[in-house]
Amino acid sequence: MRIGIDVGGTTVKIGYIENREIIKSFAIPTKKETLFEDIYNAIKDEKNVEFIGFGLPGTVKNNYIVNLPNIGIKDVDINKEFKIYYPNINILSTNDANAAALGEAIKASKFKSTYFITLGTGVGGGYVYNGSLVNGTHSCAGEVGHSFIDPLHNFKCTCGLSGCLETVSSATGVVRLARTYKDKFKSNIDFDTISCKKVFDAAKENDELGLYVVNLMADYLGIALANIAVTCDVDAFIIGGGVMAAGDFLLDKIKESFKKHAHYGVRETEIYKASLGNLAGMLGAAYLDD
Amino acid sequence: MRIGIDVGGTTVKIGYIENREIIKSFAIPTKKETLFEDIYNAIKDEKNVEFIGFGLPGTVKNNYIVNLPNIGIKDVDINKEFKIYYPNINILSTNDANAAALGEAIKASKFKSTYFITLGTGVGGGYVYNGSLVNGTHSCAGEVGHSFIDPLHNFKCTCGLSGCLETVSSATGVVRLARTYKDKFKSNIDFDTISCKKVFDAAKENDELGLYVVNLMADYLGIALANIAVTCDVDAFIIGGGVMAAGDFLLDKIKESFKKHAHYGVRETEIYKASLGNLAGMLGAAYLDD
């Protein structure tokens, strides 16, 4: 039995996994002060645990939490705080996008190498090569949300850089683009209550501004995928996250941009919607030792 | 004993390798009609051959030559043309940039994962992960010369796309940029005899146009490296190829641009000049089975 733990800002999702299937899952509230103690209490009755993996919302290096900004936890050594309960069990951790990347890759098992992109408040990602997660030297593989992709608007990013993919192709990026172009196109979008979803809904009804913005954010995504493709040439891209609730409407636009910008050698790389939703993190976390 | 064979447009370089050192190397002329027969005749007296690897100037997939444009060879199965001489020996092949990438990675053995970029007539590359070459699903890993990096000039690339890194940061790209900006800056460059080297030489003497062009091509390279860094987060970048004859003058500018454009998490990734020159291909080819 493997345990995959997906720590979020409000709940911790815990999955019991056998043979790459989640056989049981449940959630507990995320409490900053007692996070690891609470997790231990929730799983301590479980016998025959062979591995425990964590997906965490922030920067994690070698079982050391550098920063989980949404929870308010910094500089915590998981080996000290949690491994004490399980001295003989292998425990590994990574960030939440990486855990989800591995979970989706396990689900899409016909592919050996995949690149996962998650479109949410920001843009995250994870790279799975030959069935294993690539963490990278600085635990930053998959951070393609911070590739430089938009010198045109060159919007300031939360990371300190400008022009990052995340500034245009995330949920916040979509709203930012809509505000930027609101005087240039006709639109029924109400800017007092604007959200990424409302921009997509408008686009689906051929709202001029909505369509322009969605085409633009999808174009940038296609460019980013095209660049990733010539960099590490994976079998397939898997796109997830809240923004992908827009479904094939968005996926088809991303595919179109990818075909336009990808080198002929990689142009046939497949692009799929993620299929596991918020189960991916638990499943992936449970196989971080793979 | 391993044999690494680096096939070029005019000569075929053959290296005998033991313990990751080239113990002997020699070259034979590249003849389109008798390429593999000539290579066999050159090495057939060698005993105790345990592996033979090829680096080839073009597109190669699973020991099948799709196209070597500079030699004029297309659709040749290396297993049929060459493996017949050595039925019991493992024979593998890749493109020349990949072979050089692996050779340089073997030399820089303190790094486990490296990304090699070669700046020549075009821009090639190769990705080494955990000591092994990443070929990629379509044998296109490393083709970062065709990442979309320059929407500003958006020069047409030989690959059919526009705005590729290769259109601005290769030897031909440097000349193209110089011609593009020749009326905007003062310059002593003679446009009747212009070459990449002459643009660099002018830049080193503070020629306004030369400096502008070199800064620009280095800026694009820094952006490309920054994007590769967040994609697969390697230990180090290794930059080679004829254009790197410009030495630290160019390397320092690439480093400066990288620092400016790289996500804080990967900003300390090291960037080195390639050290093996035209020996890298032979060495790397000899370890394609690694």
Nearest CA in chain B to A259: B161
* Whether B231 and A229 lie within 8 Å, measured CB to CB: no
Domain limits, chain B:
2-102+279-285, 110-274
Query: What is the rounded average pLDDT of the residues A35-46?
Result: 96
CB of A30 less than 8 A from some CB of B:
no
Q: Which residues contact B9 (CB under 8 A, 6 or more apart)?
A: B30, B57, B70, B71
pLDDT at A290 over 90: no
- Which residue among A113, A147, A261 sits closest to B230, beta carbon to beta carbon? A147
Predicted TM-score (pTM) of the model is 0.96
Give the pLDDT confidence score for residue A280 in this predicted structure. 97
* ipTM of this complex prediction, to 2 decimal places: 0.96
Which segments in chain B show pLDDT lower than 70? none
User: Which strands make up the sheet holding B21-29, listed edge to edge?
Assistant: B21-29, B11-18, B2-7, B51-56, B90-95
* Whether B146 and A263 lie within 8 Å, measured CB to CB: yes
Give the pLDDT confidence score for residue B70 in this predicted structure. 87
Chain B hits for A230, CB-CB cut-off 8 Å, are 140-147
- Tens digits of per-residue pLDDT, B7-40? 999 999 999 999 999 999 999 999 999 999 999 9
CB of A97 less than 8 A from some CB of B:
no
CB of B134 less than 8 A from some CB of A:
yes
* Whether A146 and B228 lie within 8 Å, measured CB to CB: no
CB of B165 less than 8 A from some CB of A:
no
Give the pLDDT confidence score for residue B10 in this predicted structure. 92
CB of A59 less than 8 A from some CB of B:
yes
Give the pLDDT confidence score for residue A57 in this predicted structure. 94
* Whether B231 and A227 lie within 8 Å, measured CB to CB: yes
pLDDT at A117 over 90: yes
Is A2-102+279-285's fold the same as A111-274's?
Answer: yes
Count Cβ–Cβ pairs < 8 Å, chain A vs chain B.
139
Fold assignment, B110-274 = Nucleotidyltransferase; domain 5 (3.30.420)
Q: Does domain B2-102+279-285 have CATH number 1.10.1740.10?
A: no
Architecture of domain A111-274: 2-Layer Sandwich (3.30)
CB of A147 less than 8 A from some CB of B:
yes
Chain B hits for A60, CB-CB cut-off 8 Å, are none
CB of A229 less than 8 A from some CB of B:
yes
